[in-house]
Amino acid sequence: MGTIGELGEFGLIGRLTGRLPQGGDVRLGPGDDAAVIAAPDGRVVATTDLLGEGRHFRLDWSGPYDIGRKAAAQNLADVVAMGARPTALLIGLALPAATDVGWAERLYDGLADECAVVGASVAGGDVVSAPEITIAVTALGDLGGRPPLTRSGARPGDLVAVRGALGHSAAGLHLLQNPGPGARTAAEQRLVQAHLRPVPPYEAGAEARELGATALLDVSDGLLQDLGHIAAASGVRIEVDSAAVPAPPFPGPERRRFALTGGEDHAFAGTFPATAVPPPSWTVVGKVREGRGVTLDGAVQGPGGWDHFRE
């Protein structure tokens, strides 16, 4: 199949865009100077994220298809967390010229397949040469005439609830970093897969709206840290009951820490009126009170979770 350097920039772009199904809100896809995407609401929800080789993925752990699914998922989840419907992704891809063309094609297959889960499309992007692989993703979404779900709406008396896996990705990363002498069990392999290819519960956005959510976000950097963002934006204190937080099926004492501070599961956490009755897919883990910050079992929590600029 050859390398990207042999194929050339425009040859690669043609190969990749030819693999991308179009439709839905993408009215004009790759091939021109820019894409044209419908915005029925008159507003566009937009978010962007970077994935760097050695930081967000390792080539000895992840294949290109999983990397593509992960890159799309973490951005689509951010759109859903705003209460919007994802419509399109724009991809910036930097990679060495010696990269096999098939690797890039499988990456785009992963991006396209994750988009298909929510009815979105890859609308275009750019490809450049670089010493290491970097993937920049911009996701767009439509609010459908409704107000966005932000981090600033939590009020004292609200319930705090979560939807999706917590700590599974962190447990999987731990297993990858600390391989045992024997083969992994089926449960351990599922945890590893949760790190390599997270599966956000995208339906959480619509469910949160139906429940009357006052605030919502994607848990990407750890539950306690991300709840701290809601607390700060809303000017409230969030009290978390550690016993109520669902933990991953990890055979060790760190399972609770993984659930509270592990990121990249892309679960959702939100606040809801005290009268709300969340369905079984949601777990109530705390309450909103007057005050500031986040407490865990009554103890004030400092910085935790993931921060790129904090060791």
21's tokens: 């199904």
If you compute the radius of gyration of the chain from its CA atoms, what whole number of angstroms results?
20
107's tokens: 């990456």
Place of tokens 């995208």: 202
**According to the annotation, is 203 in a ligand binding site?**
no
> 264: how many CB neighbours lie within 10 A of its CB?
22
In one letter, which amino acid is 98? Answer: A
Are 69 and 89 in contact by the 8 Å Cβ rule? The answer is no
Per the model's pLDDT, the better-predicted residue between 259 and 183 turns out to be: 259
52's tokens: 């760097």
Q: Are residues 164 and 50 in the same domain?
A: no
Residue 180: the pLDDT is 83
Domain of 77 in residue numbering reads as: 4-142
- Is 149 part of a structural domain of the chain? no
| CATH code of 138's domain | 3.30.1330.10
Q: Are residues 134 and 166 in the same domain?
A: no
Q: Are residues 285 and 164 in the same domain?
A: yes
**According to the annotation, is 221 in a ligand binding site?**
yes
Helix (H, G, I), strand (E, B) or coil at 196: helix
Q: How many domains does the chain divide into?
A: 2
**According to the annotation, is 33 in a ligand binding site?**
yes
List, for residues 98-113, the tens digit of each pLDDT value: 999 999 999 999 999 9
Place of tokens 């008159």: 42
| CATH code of 278's domain | 3.90.650.10
Are 271 and 239 in contact by the 8 Å Cβ rule? The answer is no
Mean pLDDT of 177-183: 88
- Is 151 part of a structural domain of the chain? no
186's tokens: 């089926």
**According to the annotation, is 264 in a ligand binding site?**
yes
Residues in the chain: 311
First-to-last C-alpha distance (Å) of the chain: 41
Q: Are residues 214 and 290 in the same domain?
A: yes
**According to the annotation, is 220 in a ligand binding site?**
yes
Q: What is the mean pLDDT of the chain?
A: 92
Q: Are residues 135 and 212 in the same domain?
A: no
List, for residues 10-59, the tens digit of each pLDDT value: 777 777 776 676 767 998 888 888 989 999 999 999 999 999 998 899 99
- Is 81 part of a structural domain of the chain? yes
Q: Are residues 170 and 129 in the same domain?
A: no
Please calculate the CA angle 246-247-252 and round it to the nearest 5 degrees: 160
How far is residue 234's CA from residue 271's CA, in Å, rounded to a whole number? 11
**According to the annotation, is 108 in a ligand binding site?**
yes
Residue 6: the pLDDT is 78
**According to the annotation, is 103 in a ligand binding site?**
no
Place of tokens 């959510």: 213
Are 77 and 266 in contact by the 8 Å Cβ rule? The answer is yes
**According to the annotation, is 306 in a ligand binding site?**
yes
Pairing between β-strand 299-300 and β-strand 237-240 as defined by DSSP bridges: unpaired
**According to the annotation, is 25 in a ligand binding site?**
no
Mean pLDDT of 250-265: 93
Q: Are residues 137 and 173 in the same domain?
A: no
User: Which of 114, 142, 170 is the last residue in one of the domains?
Assistant: 142
Residue 229: the pLDDT is 97
